[in-house]
Amino acid sequence: MALPYRPIITICGTTGVGKSKLAIDLAQHVVRNCRRFGWRGAKIINADSMQIYRGLDVLTNKIPEGERAGVPHLLMGFKQPGEQYVVGEWVQDTIKLINEMHENQELPIIVGGTSYWIQHLIFPSQLIHKDPSMSKISDGAVVSEMFKNAVHALSPDLLNLLQNLPREAPSAKIDPDKAFQMHQLLSALDPIISQRWHWKDTRKVLRSLEIAKETGRLPSTIVAEQSSVVAEGSKPRYSTLTFWLYAEPTILNERLDARVDDMISQGLISEVKKLREIASDQKCFDSSPSSPVDYTLGIYQSIGYKEFCGYLDALSETAFKEACERMKISTRQYAKRQISWIRNKLLPAVHAANTQDNIVPLYLLDATTLGDAWVQNVQKTAFDIQDAFLGRQELPDPNLLSMTASNLLKLVHKDVNPAFVLKARKRRVCTACTTQANRPVMIEEGSEWDIHLKTRSHRRLEAKNLHILHDGQTNMSNVSDTASS
């Protein structure tokens, strides 16, 4: 499957493993060898969903300006706290930048820990999006019977909402009633797709509703059609060389704990205070409709902010230590999830694309040991592979780089079909934790649901509900006994 020679380099991996350092090293290597391969230079495109926010350099672990060696870093620090920025927007912005860089003979290097952003950039058929080629109802397209029936069954208020969808997604923080009503509408139209999104994910919910309204078809039907394309193998957008930086968790966890301590000493708590002030300032809620903000999403979901909010409400040495420990645990858990995504989602997609030819070469670089070993195992190895890739030479076997690579790059039999992913990542309502019907607590099935069931708050509410149920049954039994006597 030959691709036009439009090369990009992508670097993924866990937090704290050295991705930014390697990206800068590779960019500088391109500059030093510009005459050899014909590139004028290289630029780095950020693929970290937290580093898109302006300021907050400690909280989001941005590489300091002084350590960027003059290499431009794009799509970094350009959004305000409270603004939402979803994967589809990032993909479109990144495609535009890549096209501009290729025109200028500059090599794009995409780096970040949000691996699903990188995956959706490489493989174009795995996102549900508004496709300009889709026929609109107003253009005379035939409306599907399933969509007709679903619309016909809508209640008057939901039908009115469908006919008058907002131009911009409402904030779940500012207008939770409207946010939940939109999710109700999606649930009534397309229960399958609605289980994929949390009711607070208003932009994703609105996007699904727009697709349905504009095409006269259910989004889940479109997913099924995309699935037939993926089943044949997803053709990547670019000639892509991917590096997966990996460190053994036992070693990495010690580094992550130390980095949390460093972040605190560098001013993490001051940044958390600033974020709280922004969210609590009522003037911030007077945003224009064209630029909605939601102070429960985006950077407000970052590790560090959530953990230290409680400490700021009750300043004490004990609360501080507890916040530090919670942040370290959350960071380690996040690193574990990052590895799981790469192994269970990205690798199967790469294997599916490489069924005939090695069109998406992916290499695991062992970054467990620092110092001279890092230079040899990561930096020098990456230079050699990148040189061969840009020179269109034969590439080494990814499985032979190291024993770690051989073990972790083994084919993981996971279905990357969009329809399967849709079913596998459904949201469930936790009835025990839901205290208001129009504010349901929704958790993703699988590991997140299992973790949720073990939380102290869930166990407490579940026990409370069981106690109430038991008391109710006892009272009914007493009433029955009294009546019979």
* Percent of the chain whose pLDDT exceeds 90: 43
Distance of CA 478 to the CA centre of its chain: 53
Lowest mean pLDDT, pick from 66-70, 325-329, 369-373, 476-480: 476-480
For the ranges 124-128, 165-169, 248-252, 302-306, the maximum mean pLDDT occurs at 248-252
pLDDT at 207: 86
The mean per-residue pLDDT over the stretch 226-252 comes to: 80
Range with the lowest mean pLDDT among 236-250, 259-273, 377-391, 456-470? 456-470
Neighbours of 271 (CB within 10 A): 22
Lay out the sheet containing 239-246: strands in order across: 73-74, 41-46, 106-111, 7-13, 239-246, 362-366
**Is residue 396 within 8 Å of 409, Cβ to Cβ?**
no
Instruction: Give, in words, the CATH class of 7-123+234-416.
Output: alpha beta
CA distance readout (Å), 266 to 23, 271, 317, 384: 24, 10, 19, 36
Angle 115-122/317-341 helices, nearest 10 degrees? 20
Q: Of the spans 138-147, 259-268, 288-297, which averages the highest pLDDT? A: 259-268
Each residue of 458-484: pLDDT tens digit?
888 888 877 766 555 555 455 445 444
The pLDDT of residue 1 is 42
pLDDT at 419 (0 to 100): 53
pLDDT exceeds 50 at position 400: yes
Cα torsion for 102, 104, 106, 111, to the nearest 10°? -60
CATH 3.40.50.300-classified regions of the chain: 7-123+234-416
pLDDT tens-place string over residues 31-58: 998 888 889 999 999 999 999 998 889 9
The confidence band for 127, taking pLDDT boundaries of 50, 70 and 90, is low
Query: What mean pLDDT, rounded, does the chain reach?
Result: 83
